[in-house]
Amino acid sequence: MEELRKVKCTVSYDGGNYGGYQLQENFVTIQQVLEEALKKVIKRPVRIYASGRTDAGVHARGQVFHFQTPVILPEDRWPLAMNCLLPEDISVLAATYVPDSFHARFDVKEKTYRYCLWNRRIPDVFLRRYSWHIPYALDLEKMREGAQYLIGEHDFTSFCSVKAVVEDKVRKIYDIAIEEQNDGEVWFTFRGKGFLYNMVRIIVGTLVNVGAGKIQPADVRRILEGRERTLAGKTAPAQGLFLWEVKY
């Protein structure tokens, strides 16, 4: 029986041209492209397992996946071998050998997502693929106040897509930061153990309503406790969201 080694990889990608991370029949996906590249390196089909899925249009700075291989390369050669076969909007940043017990999804301790708004009246041509354009003024301090109601362990049914198949909607958010950078960019940073389907994007949409004065910061608590998707704001567009980091 041949010996297989498990490899953990960190990958970044621009999700704008893909139908999401996970394999699908009718769309080109990140997983599909990575597996096709690895097949050429290993000379046989290979299945990769990621820390989680990202939706169509969502980006990643630090997605993590693992795979098993009989081919043994130096760790620093794996990114080079894959990147020469990948399109320019996907890049493997690092690879390390890990114990057989490691699993990219089930061993996650913390995930960080970031979301970018462009908060100026005039659109920014170069940020349009990586941010949500909000042309009206936002009160960031009120948004921060509203975000505090979401810190901790809660049932996030109100902030989860109705398409989600999981029954347990309880998740734990460690921190939410909202900062203005580069004169117009507003960055949300979410740290948590795990997130529900569209959870970050719905929270962003709700906090934008707070910042615009459509609802008050304390209404975020009411929305959370209501456990009803229709209470929360719109789902923010996919292109502003980044899976930033995964910790194990």
Tokens describing residue 162: 């109705």
What beta strand segments (E) does 143-219 contain? Answer: 152-155, 170-181, 185-192
Kindly give, in sequence order, each residue whose CB lies less than 8 Å from that of residue 126, ignoring residues fewer than 6 positions away: none
How many other C-beta atoms can be found within 10 angstroms of the C-beta atom of residue 164?
14
CA distances from residue 45 to 67, 73, 84, 154 in whole angstroms, order as listed: 11, 17, 18, 41
Kindly give, in sequence order, each residue whose CB lies less than 8 Å from that of residue 138, ignoring residues fewer than 6 positions away: 117, 119, 186, 208, 211, 212
- Residue 44: exposure state from Cβ atoms within 10 A (0-12, 13-18, ≥19): exposed
Q: Which residue has the tokens 């999401």?
A: 20
Kindly give, in sequence order, each residue whose CB lies less than 8 Å from that of residue 206, ignoring residues fewer than 6 positions away: 146, 159, 215, 220, 223, 232, 233
Which positions are catalytic?
A: 55
Distance (Å, rounded) from C-alpha 195 to C-alpha 112?
10
Q: Which residue has the tokens 């509203």?
A: 146
